[in-house]
Chains A and B, each alone.
Chain A
Amino acid sequence: MSNIPLNIDWQQILLHWMNLAILVGGLYFILFKPVKQFMDKRQQHYKDLEDQANGKLKEAEDIKDQYQAKLDGVEVELHEARAKVQQAVEKSTQEQLAQAKKQAQQIVDKARIEAEHSKEKVMKEAQRELKQLATEAAEKIAFKSDVDPFDQFLNLAEGGKGNEIR
């Protein structure tokens, strides 16, 4: 052993190996592994956060698409609703118009009836007055006047102008 150059000693090399084995093993279990585990855990944590963010982003995209589709549907619905409302308004207008016409017809009919009544009443009144005038004229002719009764009657019938002339 002592003939090996550079004072190489196999026993000491083995002792160095033992030392290195203790060092590498010790450092691995005491420092390397826990620190690496922590780093991996942190990496996983941030990866999870990223995945969550991506998931939420995708979810938001889906919701956006859904709402976009709904929005597109709303346009159609809006047209339909507008058409329905328009139809309803038209129907209502027609009904109101018909009712107004009906009321107007009723008013006209009523007015006509009333006018008829008034006419009849006026006619009756006129006839009554005429009768009265005729009676009065007859009385005058018969009892007071020296003129021709027929002329008096005519004068009275024409509004009493003959009397006024005289």
Chain B
Amino acid sequence: MGKHKKGLAVCAVAILLLLAASLLAGYHGRAESVQEAMRDAVLHSENQIPFLGGKAVNPALISAFTVTAILLVLAALIRIFAIPRFKLIPGKFQLVIEEAVGLFDNMAKQNSPHRNGFLGAYIFGAGAYIFVGTLFELLGLQATTTHGQPITLPAPLSDVNAAIGLGVLSYLVILSGGIAGNGAGGIGKTLKEFSLPISMSFRLFGALLSGLLVTELVYYYLHLSFVLPVIVGVLFTLLHAIIQTYVLTMLTALYYGEVSEPAHKVKKAKAN
């Protein structure tokens, strides 16, 4: 009990010291107004980053490639060190990995019973991308803009290009399922849902962007940067990472299953 009190006291003192130091360091103000900052968070027209030293791209593209690199490195480490040691009765880590794979695989099987091999792999990749990509903004990785200014890398899907990319790609995957399952009829079935790529893209964009805007708004004012980000930044980000992952993967699986389901031909009874 005494140790706990001592630890709490040390924490409180440290927080107060950091707060005092940050206030004493002074606030020189931001170079851009809150309107400009939020407008740039949406449009990415000002702060861009050179991609491979060439074309200037939105920071979210760099975030996207970083997320991919992180995920692939993690996957490779798991493949090399963990999977060969997998046992019939799983441990905690094995259980988490199997649960993640089984979650998307089962989702694909349940929603698309006729054709689900590729769908499972796609929604696993897309789900991992959305989940890790959304949490990625919590890392606060820095990059340098074309103007030489430092910028915090945002969540990949807070960029409309990334959201459109994922939404349209998901629609193309659904279309491929329709073609594989029903041929030309599948194309027709998929094209009936013409609003799907737009709705999926802008749902993702809207959800991620709202999170980004709230975070941007909070962080714009220095005094709001204490305590509040724990709730705004961590909890909300975690919550909508889970929700958006579930929504996009579920929608993709659902529509994929619908368009890939073989059409039942109704036999016309011969009139005697």
Which chain A residues have a beta carbon within 8 Å of chain B's beta carbons? 6-9, 11-13, 15-17, 19-20, 22-28, 30-36, 38-39, 42, 45
Given A17-B165, A27-B72, A38-B83, do A12 and B57 touch, yes or no (CB 8 Å)? yes
Q: Give chain A's interface secondary structure class.
A: helix
Kindly state the separation between the CA atoms of A13 and B159 in the bound complex, as whole angstroms. Answer: 10
Contact with A along B76-107 (1 / 0, CB 8 A): 10110001001010000000011001100100
Kindly state the separation between the CA atoms of A12 and B43 in the bound complex, as whole angstroms. Answer: 13
Residue of A nearest to B125 (CB): A24
Give the most central of A25, A36, A42: most B CB within 10 Å: A36
Give the most central of B64, B65, B125: most A CB within 10 Å: B125
Interface size class of B (residues with CB under 8 A): 35 or more
A23 and B68: CB pair below 8 A? yes
Given A15-B51, A45-B88, do A20 and B79 touch, yes or no (CB 8 Å)? no
Kindly state the separation between the CA atoms of A36 and B79 in the bound complex, as whole angstroms. Answer: 12
Q: Identify A13's interface contact among B72, B124, B168, CB under 8 A.
A: B168
Give the most central of A15, A16, A35: most B CB within 10 Å: A16
B72 and A30: CB pair below 8 A? yes
B71 and A9: CB pair below 8 A? no
A16 and B162: CB pair below 8 A? yes
A6 and B160: CB pair below 8 A? yes
Which chain B residues have a beta carbon within 8 Å of chain A's beta carbons? 42-45, 51, 55, 57-58, 61, 64-65, 67-68, 71-72, 75-76, 78-79, 83, 86, 88, 97-98, 101-102, 105, 120-122, 124-126, 128-129, 156, 159-162, 164-166, 168-169
- Min CB gap B42→A, angstroms: 8
A26 and B98: CB pair below 8 A? no
Residue of A nearest to B170 (CB): A20
Given A6-B43, A24-B121, do A39 and B101 touch, yes or no (CB 8 Å)? yes
Q: Identify B61's interface contact among A16, A22, A30, CB under 8 A.
A: A16
B43 and A7: CB pair below 8 A? yes
A32 and B98: CB pair below 8 A? no
Residue of A nearest to B128 (CB): A27
- Min CB gap B166→A, angstroms: 7
B68 and A15: CB pair below 8 A? no
Kindly state the separation between the CA atoms of A16 and B60 in the bound complex, as whole angstroms. Answer: 10
Q: Would you list 24 pairs from A and B whose C-beta atoms are within 8 A, ordered by A residue?
A: A7-B43, A8-B160, A13-B161, A16-B64, A17-B165, A17-B169, A19-B64, A19-B68, A20-B169, A23-B125, A24-B124, A26-B71, A27-B121, A27-B128, A30-B75, A31-B78, A32-B105, A35-B86, A35-B98, A38-B86, A38-B98, A39-B98, A39-B101, A39-B102
